[in-house]
Structure 1
Amino acid sequence: MSQNALEVKNLTKKIKSKKIVDSVSFSVEKGEIFGLLGPNGAGKTTIIRMIVSLINRTDGEVVINGHHLDQSFAEAMSSLGAIVENPEFYKYMSGYKNLQHYARMAKMKISEERLQEVIKLVALESAIHQKVKTYSLGMRQRLGVAQALLHNPAILILDEPTNGLDPQGIKEFRQYLHDLTTQGISVLVSSHLLAEMQLMCHRFAIIEQGKLIHISTMDETVEEDNEEKREVGFEVDKPEQAISILRNSDIPYEFIQQQHSTLTLKLTKSSIPLINKWLVENEIGVFAITVRKSTLEDRFLEITSPQGGKQQL
């Protein structure tokens, strides 16, 4: 059996003469959360809709848990769970009754034991017998995940799953997804919330104008090399005098700003102790040194918009 829960090979979608998605290839490993990032209109949702067979592919292959979509459609789809749009339920029925309804429609038999298992997995035990109309948006999202997990898929695909959730709901939802990966389930998620994707995903791909332009682990993206410049704040007792003293040093740095008693400089990691030593030796008291770490947003804007990140997410 494949080590990947999902493999996408040269996925292409053409409408008339325009390529909406252009030869996109990536894989999702078992037990990982993989993110699809990109500006609005980049093609993320089109990619997802092709994977789950809501729209036809112009070209390319989709392999789900070792099953080719074109050769073993039923087996491939049985390994897949998805929420492509906001999950819809019968609001006058309880969450439990809704899950029972979907379980009866499934091609495979869903046991009561499995029902209880997914309810516990998404932490809805206390509310599962309440009517769905009483549920918050976050609870409905979790019920949607429970429905998608009923048939025990290898991979869960989510398109903008945290839309409309408040910060607490987003945090809880992220934790549920991480809990799923401990059960061996993989997750493919598309979102424009970069800070949230940084906390959520193990790996990610950036899609721009239908093309895959970058793919890496989250650690590789936000980790900085020792000689890569970063912004560092030095809180000092005599900021104006410190600026004058730094001008006389031969340590390479770029002055960014002074805000109250903090000087922000752009310099390499190896230069931080040298700046600190120079200030102290010149009788400048240094109270704190703060390194601003690169974020996924920084990297995203560097990759997609070399002119300074003017694209609209």
Structure 2
Amino acid sequence: MTGKALEVRSLTKKIKNKVIVDHVSFEVEKGEIFGLLGPNGAGKTTIIRMIVSLIGRTEGSVHVNGHNLDGEFKESMSEIGAIVENPEFYKYLSGYKNLLHYANMARQKITKERIEEVVRLVGLEKAVHQKVRTYSLGMRQRLGVAQALLHNPSILILDEPTNGLDPQGIREFRDYLRSLTKEGISVIVSSHLLSEMQLMCDRFAIIEHGKLIHVSSIDTLKEADRAAQNVVFEVSDSDQAIHLLMEHKLGAEAVKSGNGQFTVSVDKETIAAVNQLLVTNQIKVYGIQLVTATLEDRFLELTGKGRKEEEASVLSS
């Protein structure tokens, strides 16, 4: 069980006869940002609460940097820093005094040098001596990350950390998380904001109805997009253009969309071939636009497929 920051195997949570989380397994590499994606109520927070032992597991195991959470609880938990709910602080104290308070409660000795180090890491040097009641939500989130990092964990777990942040705050927070991975820290982030997670994560897992239905990397998503993507052509005669494409077997599923436009699924090299074919046959090409697939598109495709399979299973039973 070495080489991975976190390994989750068959994680399951049942309450009475209801399955909340159903045999979820995944791994998190060292120094990566791993996203747990899914709609509210999908089971993301329950998974996180089981990992950090806020609630018990019905089945399954958790290994943190090779330590089994069951047999090596203290060693495992010393590797984890987490924000499961919105971070709460004493608002009448400064950010620094809040961190000092938490440091004094820690099981291990945390020096003032370490406090100053995490303050620099999250970019709060200028505000750390101000009272927390003057902080914006984004600043409180960063202070929460600083608190979670005080004991120098190797894994940071954040549950919906961008809730309530404005676009600028989300961007800054994303940059802070990326800087943490450069320090060798692994980050697990749960969210339902798919477009934001596409910018933030190295890999992602999609959770629906307590089940893990897909794990992939953002790079794989981009490569699939480059391999075959929808392209919109605006031409002088879309009917004739589609006829030519079918005749020469270029692309797939050419669909007319009105206003002289049609959409076809092709790879990068075929785009040039389609354009050449149209021009050679005296069809004017006014525009070519790539329709880039997003994580949201993939999410909807996968969750829609999952629902159809569930419906088919119910109907056949």
2:241 to 243, 246, 249: 246
2: distance between equivalents of 1:226 and 1:144?
Answer: 38
2: distance between equivalents of 1:291 and 1:92?
Answer: 53
- The normalised TM-score by structure 2 is 0.90
Question: Displacement of 1:266 after TM fit?
Answer: 2.0
2: distance between equivalents of 1:128 and 1:247?
Answer: 63
Runs of 4+ in 1 over 3 A off after TM superposition: 225-228, 282-288
Which moves more between the two structures, 144-153 or 248-257? 248-257
1: distance between equivalents of 2:10 and 2:306?
Answer: 29
Question: Displacement of 1:242 after TM fit?
Answer: 2.5
Q: Which residue of 1 aligns with 2:300?
A: 301
Question: Displacement of 1:265 after TM fit?
Answer: 1.0
Q: Which residue of 1 aligns with 2:265?
A: 267
| Aligned 8 A contact 1:233 1:264 in 2 | yes
**Which structure 2 residues correspond to residues 75-114 of structure 1 after superposition, within 5 A?**
75-114=75-114
Question: Displacement of 1:290 after TM fit?
Answer: 2.1
DSSP-derived class of the 1:216 partner: strand
1: distance between equivalents of 2:112 and 2:66?
Answer: 28
Query: Aligned in 2, Cα 1:30/1:247: closer, same or farther, shift over 3 Å?
Result: closer
Q: Which residue of 2 aligns with 1:146?
A: 146
Question: Displacement of 1:274 after TM fit?
Answer: 2.5
Matched, 1:164 2:159: no
Question: Displacement of 1:226 after TM fit?
Answer: 6.7
Amino acid at match of 1:177: L
| Aligned 8 A contact 2:238 2:256 in 1 | no
Q: Which residue of 2 aligns with 1:131?
A: 131
DSSP-derived class of the 2:212 partner: strand
Amino acid at match of 1:14: K
| Aligned 8 A contact 1:301 1:308 in 2 | no
1: distance between equivalents of 2:144 and 2:86?
Answer: 8
Amino acid at match of 2:153: P
**Which structure 2 residues correspond to residues 280-299 of structure 1 after superposition, within 5 A?**
280-299=279-298
Q: Which has the higher helix share?
A: 2
Q: Which residue of 2 aligns with 1:176?
A: 176
2: distance between equivalents of 1:211 and 1:93?
Answer: 42
Q: Which residue of 2 aligns with 1:191?
A: 191
2: distance between equivalents of 1:308 and 1:255?
Answer: 26
Q: Which residue of 2 aligns with 1:67?
A: 67
2: distance between equivalents of 1:304 and 1:101?
Answer: 44
Question: Displacement of 1:140 after TM fit?
Answer: 0.3
Amino acid at match of 1:200: M
Query: Aligned in 2, Cα 1:256/1:125: closer, same or farther, shift over 3 Å?
Result: farther
Which moves more between the two structures, 136-145 or 284-293? 284-293
| Aligned 8 A contact 2:96 2:128 in 1 | yes
Note the alpha carbon deviations across 1:10-60, whole angstroms, 9 max, x for none. 111111111111111111111001111122211111000001111111111
Amino acid at match of 1:116: E
Q: Which residue of 2 aligns with 1:47?
A: 47
| Aligned 8 A contact 1:223 1:294 in 2 | no
* Contiguous gaps of at least 5 residues in structure 1: none
2: distance between equivalents of 1:170 and 1:21?
Answer: 29
Question: Displacement of 1:255 after TM fit?
Answer: 2.1
Question: Displacement of 1:7 after TM fit?
Answer: 1.0
Note the alpha carbon deviations across 1:117-148, whole angstroms, 9 max, x for none. 10000000011111111110000000000000
2: distance between equivalents of 1:258 and 1:114?
Answer: 62
Note the alpha carbon deviations across 1:217-249, whole angstroms, 9 max, x for none. 111123227764x221234xxx4x331431441
| Aligned 8 A contact 1:245 1:282 in 2 | no
DSSP-derived class of the 2:156 partner: strand
| Aligned 8 A contact 2:198 2:218 in 1 | yes
Question: Displacement of 1:186 after TM fit?
Answer: 0.3
DSSP-derived class of the 1:164 partner: coil
Superposed CA RMSD in Å reads: 2.0
Amino acid at match of 2:241: L
* Contiguous gaps of at least 5 residues in structure 2: 309-317
DSSP-derived class of the 1:88 partner: coil
| Identical amino acids, percent of aligned pairs | 63
Amino acid at match of 1:145: V
Question: Displacement of 1:267 after TM fit?
Answer: 2.1
